[in-house]
């Protein structure tokens, strides 16, 4: 409940007492934004109050409306629509709030570190292939959620766990040994992650060829897939790695090093970063001690074959394997150890947020239940930031078949598309080449980020590159263009000697469109808190779009420098400042830069 809602709720309590001789608690007053098709700013739902008024909803609303207009200086008019009391707030209130917001650079933001410490995990790639379109949604989502939580007042730690071990890593290594002829990123001119990814694809190609030969020789396909020589080589290499074989470990370090350098370049282009990196090779055994401790406490149980399990049937789940019969760990074991290690690494950590696709929802339900049963304080507060897959018109991506949309290639394509559009519009001739290059990335990357973030994380989506760069509609370029327009207005004011530091506004200077624009902008504090609570950047994205759309419409019919009424001119300057600042702030939380010129 914002300040206005609080004030109106208190006034409604007084109205109930005066009109119906009823004692009503402020928590019983249901307030909401008035729907756009009706007059008013806030709406009180009259239906729950009829038991106090002993009147119909319409009569209840009318009685309260008349009293509020007569006794509350905030209310200038009312309208009753089928039991909904729509209240119109006096313009002076919005003027006061606008001026206050204009004088607060951090308007709507929570005080730094005023809320609990939170960890956000995102990216977490395998080191056998470059990052792809799915990773882009993951990274942009996790990074944006981290920025939103920080803006809301949380201390935030950004982490990833790099999946740098396992059979999939060994597949690339075996393929490089067999087909690589010693080539390196330096000798090929390829980024390291792309080079290694090529060998992951080469392994799959060779594996399929071997399986086909074995099947032609009389084996079943199932047996052929288990006995293909190249797969047996990869399994043998994994065993050697686990035993610490010097030659295998040296190759593993070399090829992973190539990948990390490539990842680093991609993260820089994405505009994301991390406060700490965790590596699966360091953490995959950490959970074993926790499982042994859990066995002693009776949290887990051991089956006759020696494997260790947990029974979560009392939680509506099922049994889950934690240690195989040979004592080796599974992914769940690793995640238990890593989660507990992080609480130790960052004392005071309230919760961990895992940005992982929705196919892992069951995994995280089990993980959080296990942590709680192990007595990890606050484990139930951990959150799986589940998101849907990004699909393409031609279907799902498959890394091993080389049918993914490479992250680097896509970002380069987006920047190039922005270049073509800007060149066609012909408004950048006075920019230097470096300024142009930066602008193309701001527009192209911004379009990509916004397209992936404007949709609720829980929804799967179809990526459409062309639609994302459109200058009309719910896109980043539309928002960026109007931000540049607003900034240009303020720059022209300064050049004309008109001050943009407006300290006083005539409360009657506004028309209905301006009041709606102000009111939407003043929703920002609550919008930010909602986005933080829900871990949902689309709340911020759509707020920015609605604000920009309102500004774009308003701008067409409201001159500023040419306005002869100085009171109106100053009011419009203040409103333009307010909108421009809020657009830039909200888009920054999505990781999107705003251009100076377009």
Q: Residue 550 falls within a domain, yes or no?
A: yes
Asked whether 261 and 127 are in contact (CB, 8 A), the reply is no
Give the residue from 89, 124, 148 where a domain finishes: 89
Give the residue from 57, 89, 121 where a domain finishes: 89
Residue 400 has pLDDT above 60, yes or no: no
Measure the CA dihedral 569/574/578/579, to 10°.
0
Residue 148 has pLDDT above 90, yes or no: yes
Q: Residue 317 falls within a domain, yes or no?
A: no
Q: Residue 152 falls within a domain, yes or no?
A: no
The CA distance from 158 to 174, in Å, is 33
Residue 394 has pLDDT above 70, yes or no: no
Q: SS3 of 124, please?
A: coil
The CA distance from 527 to 548, in Å, is 15
As a whole number, mean pLDDT of residues 230-253 equals 97
- pLDDT of the residue at 397: 41
Q: What is the pTM of this model?
A: 0.93
Q: Residue 516 falls within a domain, yes or no?
A: yes
Q: Residue 162 falls within a domain, yes or no?
A: no
Q: Residue 497 falls within a domain, yes or no?
A: yes
pLDDT digits (tens, 9 = 90+) for 552-591: 999 999 999 988 899 899 999 999 999 999 999 999 999 9
CA 127, distance to chain mean position in Å, is 24
pLDDT digits (tens, 9 = 90+) for 192-218: 999 999 999 999 999 999 999 999 999
**Picking from 391-395, 405-409, 419-423, 500-504, which range would have the lowest pLDDT averaged per residue?**
391-395
Give the residue from 89, 107, 135 where a domain finishes: 89
Q: What confidence tier does 399 reach under pLDDT thresholds 50, 70, 90? A: very low
* 83 and 218 fall within a common domain: no
As a whole number, mean pLDDT of residues 57-68 equals 97
The CA distance from 431 to 306, in Å, is 70
* 474 and 584 fall within a common domain: yes
Both tokens of 104, joined, read 């607060």
Of 160, 296, 179, 309, nearest in space to 233 by CA: 179
As a whole number, mean pLDDT of residues 96-123 equals 95
Q: Tell me the torsion sign for CA atoms 345, 350, 356, 359.
A: positive
**Mean of pLDDT over the chain:** 93
Q: Residue 192 falls within a domain, yes or no?
A: yes
* 200 and 85 fall within a common domain: no
* 432 and 539 fall within a common domain: yes
CA 282, distance to chain mean position in Å, is 28
Residue located via tokens 């990842």: 263
As a whole number, mean pLDDT of residues 540-546 equals 98
* 458 and 565 fall within a common domain: yes
> Residue 581's domain spans which residues?
408-588
pLDDT digits (tens, 9 = 90+) for 273-329: 999 999 999 998 899 999 999 999 999 999 999 999 999 999 999 999 999 998 888
Residue 597 has pLDDT above 90, yes or no: no
Residue 508 has pLDDT above 80, yes or no: no
Count of domains forming the chain: 3
Q: Radius of gyration of the chain from Cα atoms?
A: 30
* 206 and 78 fall within a common domain: no
* 50 and 187 fall within a common domain: no
CATH of the domain at 420: 1.10.730.10
Q: Residue 257 falls within a domain, yes or no?
A: yes
The CA distance from 535 to 539, in Å, is 9
Q: SS3 of 304, please?
A: coil
From residue 145, give the alpha-carbon distance in Å to each of 162, 277, 332, 432.
Answer: 20, 18, 25, 34
Residue 41 has pLDDT above 70, yes or no: yes
């Amino acid at each position: 409940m914002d300040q206005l809602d609080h004030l109106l709720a208190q006034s409604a309590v007084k109205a109930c007492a005066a009109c119906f001789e009823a004692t009503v608690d402020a928590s019983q007053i249901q307030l909401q934004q008035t729907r756009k098709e009706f007059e008013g700013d806030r709406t009180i739902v009259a239906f729950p109050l009829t038991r106090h008024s002993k009147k119909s909803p319409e009569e209840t609303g009318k009685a309260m409306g008349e009293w509020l207009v007569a006794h509350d200086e905030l209310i200038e008019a009312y309208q009753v629509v089928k039991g909904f009391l729509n209240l119109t707030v006096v313009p002076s209130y919005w003027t006061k709030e606008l001026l206050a917001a204009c004088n607060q650079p951090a308007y709507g933001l929570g005080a730094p570190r005023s809320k609990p410490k939170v960890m956000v995990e995102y990216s977490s790639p395998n080191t056998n292939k470059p990052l792809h379109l799915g990773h882009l949604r993951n990274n942009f989502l996790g990074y944006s959620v981290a920025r939103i939580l920080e803006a809301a007042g949380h201390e935030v730690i950004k982490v990833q766990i790099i999946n740098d071990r396992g059979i999939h890593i060994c597949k690339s290594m075996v393929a490089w040994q067999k087909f690589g002829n010693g080539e390196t990123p330096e000798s090929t001119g390829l980024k390291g992650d792309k080079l290694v990814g090529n060998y992951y694809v080469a392994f799959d190609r060779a594996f399929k060829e071997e399986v086909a030969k074995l099947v032609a020789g009389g084996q079943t396909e199932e047996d052929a897939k288990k006995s293909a020589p190249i797969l047996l080589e990869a399994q043998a290499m994994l065993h050697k790695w686990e035993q610490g074989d010097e030659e295998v470990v040296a190759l593993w370090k070399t090829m992973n090093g190539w990948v990390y350098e490539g990842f680093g370049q991609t993260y820089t282009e994405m505009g994301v970063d991390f406060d700490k990196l965790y590596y699966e090779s360091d953490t995959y055994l950490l959970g074993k001690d926790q499982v042994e401790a859990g066995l002693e406490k009776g949290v887990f149980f051991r089956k006759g074959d020696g494997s260790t399990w947990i029974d979560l049937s009392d939680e509506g789940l099922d049994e889950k394997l934690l240690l195989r019969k040979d004592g080796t760990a599974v992914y769940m074991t690793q995640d238990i150890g890593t989660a507990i290690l992080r609480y130790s690494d960052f004392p005071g950590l309230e919760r961990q947020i895992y940005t992982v696709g929705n196919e892992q929802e069951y995994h995280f339900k089990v993980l959080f239940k296990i942590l709680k049963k192990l007595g990890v304080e606050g484990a139930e507060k951990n959150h799986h930031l589940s998101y849907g897959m990004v699909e393409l018109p031609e279907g799902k991506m498959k890394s091993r078949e080389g049918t993914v949309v490479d992250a680097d290639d896509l970002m380069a394509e987006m920047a190039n598309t922005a270049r073509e559009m800007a060149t066609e519009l012909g408004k950048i001739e006075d920019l230097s080449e470096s300024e142009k290059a930066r602008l193309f990335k701001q527009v192209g990357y911004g379009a990509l980020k916004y397209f992936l973030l404007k949709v609720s994380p829980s929804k799967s989506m179809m990526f459409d590159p062309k639609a994302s760069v459109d200058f009309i509609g719910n896109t980043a370029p539309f928002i960026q263009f109007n931000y540049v327009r607003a900034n240009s207005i303020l720059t022209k004011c300064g050049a004309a000697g008109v001050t943009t530091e407006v300290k006083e506004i005539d409360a009657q200077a506004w028309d209905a469109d301006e009041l709606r624009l102000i009111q939407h902008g003043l929703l920002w504090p609550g919008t930010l808190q909602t986005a933080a609570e829900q871990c949902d950047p689309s709340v911020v994205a759509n707020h920015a779009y609605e604000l920009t759309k309102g500004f774009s419409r308003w701008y067409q019919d409201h001159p500023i420098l040419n306005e002869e009424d100085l009171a109106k001119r100053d009011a419009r300057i203040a409103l333009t400042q307010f909108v421009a600042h809020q657009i830039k702030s909200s888009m920054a939380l999505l990781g999107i830069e705003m251009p100076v010129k377009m």
